[in-house]
Chains A and B, each alone.
Chain A
Amino acid sequence: MLKQYLKQAWQLIKQNRFYTAVYIIGTGLAIAMVMVMAIVYHIRTANIAPEVNRDRMLIVSRATASKKGTEYNSNWGLSYETLKACYYTLETPEMIAAAVDGDNLIFGVGDFYTCLPGGKDLYKSFIQCTDANFWKIFRYDFIQGKPYTEEDFQSGMRQAVLSESLARRLFHSSEAVGRSFMLNDVEYRVSGVVKDVSPVMPHSYAELWVPFTSISSVADYAGEENIVGMFTAYLLYNKPEDIPLIEREIEQKRIAYNLGKKEWEYRTEWKYKTDKYSTILTYKRWVFRQLDFNTDFHRLIIRYGLIAFMFLLIPDVNLSGLTSSRMQEQIGELGIRKAFGATRSTLMGQVLTENFLLTFFGGIAGLLFSYLIVWRVKDTLLSRPYSVIDSGMDVSGGMLLNLPVFFYALGFCFVLNFISSYIPVRHAASRPIVDSIHDK
Chain B
Amino acid sequence: MMIKHALKLIWTQRKKNGWILLELFLVFILLWYIVDFFVVLAGNSLTPQGTDIRNTYLVTYNMKRVDNPGYISYGEGSEEPGKNFLRMVSRIRQHPDVEAVSIGKNDYPYCPSSHYWPFQRDSFKTGCQVLTITPEYFHVFKVRPENGGSPEELRKKPFENKDEVILTKEVERKLFPQGSAIGRYIMDNDSSRYRVVAVTTDIKPHDYTRSHTFLYKPVDMANLLKQDDSGLWYSMDICIRTKAGVSARDFPERFKKEMKESLAIGNFFLTDVIPLSKIREFYLKSYGIISSLQYHIGFACFFLINIFLGVLGTFWLRVERRRSEIGLRMAVGSSRKSVLALMQTEGFCLLLLASIPALIVCINLAAMDIMPTDDMDFTSLRFLTDTLLTYLLLGVVILFSTWYPAHRSAKTEPAEALHYE
B43 at interface (Cβ–Cβ under 8 A)? no
Contact of B19 among A310, A311, A321, A380 (CB under 8 A): A321
A1 at interface (Cβ–Cβ under 8 A)? no
A436 at interface (Cβ–Cβ under 8 A)? no
- Complex CA–CA separation, A390 to B310 (angstroms): 38
Contact of B306 among A217, A318, A329, A386 (CB under 8 A): A318
Query: Which residues of B lie under 8 Å from residue A232 when comparing CB positions?
Result: none
Contact of B65 among A111, A217, A380 (CB under 8 A): A217
Q: Assuming the A-B contacts A185-B68, A216-B66, A321-B313, are A390 and B285 also in contact, with contact meaning beta carbons closer than 8 angstroms in the complex?
A: yes
B23 at interface (Cβ–Cβ under 8 A)? yes
Q: List 11 A-B contacts (CB under 8 A).
A: A33-B302, A184-B65, A185-B64, A186-B68, A215-B65, A315-B306, A318-B309, A325-B313, A328-B317, A380-B290, A390-B285
B255 at interface (Cβ–Cβ under 8 A)? no
A26 at interface (Cβ–Cβ under 8 A)? yes
- Which B positions have Cβ atoms within 8 angstroms of A? 16, 18-20, 22-23, 26-27, 30, 62, 64-69, 113, 271-272, 282, 285-286, 290-291, 294-295, 302-303, 305-306, 309-310, 312-314, 316-318, 320-321
Complex interface residues of chain A between 2 and 35 (CB less than 8 A to chain B): 18-19, 22, 25-26, 29, 33
Q: Is the CB of A328 within 8 A of B321?
A: yes
- Complex CA–CA separation, A76 to B68 (angstroms): 27
- Complex CA–CA separation, A322 to B318 (angstroms): 11
A417 at interface (Cβ–Cβ under 8 A)? no
- What's the minimum C-beta distance from B373 to chain A, rounded to whole angstroms? 16
Query: Which residues of B lie under 8 Å from residue A377 when comparing CB positions?
Result: 294
- Complex CA–CA separation, A215 to B68 (angstroms): 10
A313 at interface (Cβ–Cβ under 8 A)? yes
Q: Is the CB of B302 within 8 A of A311?
A: yes
Query: Which residues of A lie under 8 Å from residue B30 when comparing CB positions?
Result: 310, 314
Q: Is the CB of A326 within 8 A of B317?
A: yes
- Complex CA–CA separation, A152 to B80 (angstroms): 37
- Complex CA–CA separation, A314 to B271 (angstroms): 53
Contact of B310 among A19, A184, A318, A329 (CB under 8 A): A318
Complex interface residues of chain A between 170 and 196 (CB less than 8 A to chain B): 184-186
- What's the minimum C-beta distance from B195 to chain A, rounded to whole angstroms? 25
- Complex CA–CA separation, A212 to B303 (angstroms): 50
Query: Which residues of A lie under 8 Å from residue B20 when comparing CB positions?
Result: 321
A421 at interface (Cβ–Cβ under 8 A)? no
Q: Is the CB of B321 within 8 A of A313?
A: no
Query: Which residues of A lie under 8 Å from residue B286 when comparing CB positions?
Result: 385-387
Q: Is the CB of A314 within 8 A of B303?
A: yes
17 extra A-B contacts, CB within 8 A, seeds A314-B23, A321-B23: A26-B310, A29-B302, A111-B272, A185-B68, A216-B65, A216-B67, A314-B303, A314-B306, A317-B23, A318-B23, A321-B18, A321-B20, A321-B313, A322-B313, A328-B321, A385-B286, A386-B286
- Which A positions have Cβ atoms within 8 angstroms of B? 18-19, 22, 25-26, 29, 33, 107, 110-111, 184-186, 215-217, 310-311, 313-315, 317-318, 320-322, 324-326, 328-329, 377, 380, 383, 385-388, 390
Q: Assuming the A-B contacts A185-B68, A314-B303, are A18 and B16 also in contact, with contact meaning beta carbons closer than 8 angstroms in the complex?
A: no
- Complex CA–CA separation, A264 to B30 (angstroms): 48
Q: Assuming the A-B contacts A321-B310, A322-B313, A325-B314, are A111 and B271 also in contact, with contact meaning beta carbons closer than 8 angstroms in the complex?
A: yes
Q: Nearest 4 CB-CB pairs, A to B?
A: A321-B19, A325-B317, A110-B62, A317-B23
- What's the minimum C-beta distance from B246 to chain A, rounded to whole angstroms? 25
Interface SS of chain A: helix, strand, loop or mixed? Answer: helix
- Complex CA–CA separation, A341 to B329 (angstroms): 39
- Complex CA–CA separation, A25 to B18 (angstroms): 22
- What's the minimum C-beta distance from A319 to chain B, rounded to whole angstroms? 9
Nearest opposing residue in chain B for A311, CB measure: B302
Q: Is the CB of B27 within 8 A of A110?
A: no
Q: Assuming the A-B contacts A110-B271, A186-B67, are A317 and B26 also in contact, with contact meaning beta carbons closer than 8 angstroms in the complex?
A: yes
- What's the minimum C-beta distance from A415 to chain B, rounded to whole angstroms? 17
Contact of A313 among B26, B294, B316, B320 (CB under 8 A): B26
- Complex CA–CA separation, A18 to B290 (angstroms): 38
- What's the minimum C-beta distance from B306 to chain A, rounded to whole angstroms? 5
- Complex CA–CA separation, A29 to B68 (angstroms): 58
Query: Which residues of A lie under 8 Å from residue B19 when comparing CB positions?
Result: 317-318, 320-321, 324
Query: Which residues of B lie under 8 Å from residue A185 when comparing CB positions?
Result: 64, 68-69
Query: Which residues of B lie under 8 Å from residue A385 when comparing CB positions?
Result: 286
- Complex CA–CA separation, A22 to B401 (angstroms): 12
Q: Is the CB of A383 within 8 A of B310?
A: no
Query: Which residues of A lie under 8 Å from residue B316 when comparing CB positions?
Result: 18, 22
Query: Which residues of B lie under 8 Å from residue A215 when comparing CB positions?
Result: 65, 67
Q: Assuming the A-B contacts A22-B313, A321-B313, are A328 and B26 also in contact, with contact meaning beta carbons closer than 8 angstroms in the complex?
A: no
- What's the minimum C-beta distance from A193 to chain B, rounded to whole angstroms? 25
Nearest opposing residue in chain A for B405, CB measure: A18
Q: Is the CB of A22 within 8 A of B26?
A: no
Q: Is the CB of B23 within 8 A of A111?
A: no
Query: Which residues of A lie under 8 Å from residue B309 when comparing CB positions?
Result: 22, 25-26, 29, 318
- What's the minimum C-beta distance from B190 to chain A, rounded to whole angstroms? 11
Q: Assuming the A-B contacts A310-B30, A314-B27, A317-B19, are A383 and B291 also in contact, with contact meaning beta carbons closer than 8 angstroms in the complex?
A: yes
Query: Which residues of B lie under 8 Å from residue A317 when comparing CB positions?
Result: 19, 22-23, 26, 310
Query: Which residues of B lie under 8 Å from residue A310 when comparing CB positions?
Result: 30
Nearest opposing residue in chain A for B26, CB measure: A314
- What's the minimum C-beta distance from A62 to chain B, rounded to whole angstroms? 16
Q: Assuming the A-B contacts A26-B306, A325-B318, are A318 and B62 also in contact, with contact meaning beta carbons closer than 8 angstroms in the complex?
A: no
Nearest opposing residue in chain B for A214, CB measure: B67
Nearest opposing residue in chain B for A326, CB measure: B317
- Complex CA–CA separation, A203 to B346 (angstroms): 57
Q: Assuming the A-B contacts A29-B305, A216-B67, A313-B26, are A380 and B291 also in contact, with contact meaning beta carbons closer than 8 angstroms in the complex?
A: yes
Nearest opposing residue in chain B for A292, CB measure: B288
Query: Which residues of B lie under 8 Å from residue A321 when comparing CB positions?
Result: 18-20, 23, 310, 313-314
Nearest opposing residue in chain B for A223, CB measure: B234
- Complex CA–CA separation, A383 to B285 (angstroms): 10
Nearest opposing residue in chain B for A107, CB measure: B113
Q: Is the CB of A22 within 8 A of B312?
A: yes
Query: Which residues of A lie under 8 Å from residue B317 when comparing CB positions?
Result: 19, 322, 325-326, 328-329
- What's the minimum C-beta distance from A109 to chain B, rounded to whole angstroms? 8
Q: Is the CB of B321 within 8 A of A329?
A: yes
Nearest opposing residue in chain A for B61, CB measure: A110
Query: Which residues of A lie under 8 Å from residue B314 when comparing CB positions?
Result: 321-322, 325
Nearest opposing residue in chain B for A322, CB measure: B313
Nearest opposing residue in chain B for A424, CB measure: B19
Nearest opposing residue in chain B for A72, CB measure: B189
Query: Which residues of B lie under 8 Å from residue A29 when comparing CB positions?
Result: 302, 305-306, 309
- Complex CA–CA separation, A320 to B303 (angstroms): 16
Query: Which residues of A lie under 8 Å from residue B303 when comparing CB positions?
Result: 314
Query: Which residues of A lie under 8 Å from residue B16 when comparing CB positions?
Result: 324-325, 328
Query: Which residues of A lie under 8 Å from residue B22 when comparing CB positions?
Result: 317
Query: Which residues of B lie under 8 Å from residue A33 when comparing CB positions?
Result: 302
- What's the minimum C-beta distance from A424 to chain B, rounded to whole angstroms? 8
- Complex CA–CA separation, A100 to B98 (angstroms): 37
- Complex CA–CA separation, A33 to B301 (angstroms): 11
Most chain B beta carbons < 10 A, residue from A184, A322, A385 = A322
Nearest opposing residue in chain B for A33, CB measure: B302
- Complex CA–CA separation, A387 to B285 (angstroms): 9
Query: Which residues of A lie under 8 Å from residue B295 when comparing CB positions?
Result: 380
Most chain A beta carbons < 10 A, residue from B19, B30, B271, B286 = B19
- Complex CA–CA separation, A186 to B16 (angstroms): 77
- What's the minimum C-beta distance from B252 to chain A, rounded to whole angstroms? 14
- What's the minimum C-beta distance from B284 to chain A, rounded to whole angstroms? 11
- Complex CA–CA separation, A320 to B165 (angstroms): 65
- Complex CA–CA separation, A29 to B314 (angstroms): 18
- Complex CA–CA separation, A184 to B65 (angstroms): 10
Query: Which residues of B lie under 8 Å from residue A314 when comparing CB positions?
Result: 23, 26-27, 30, 302-303, 306
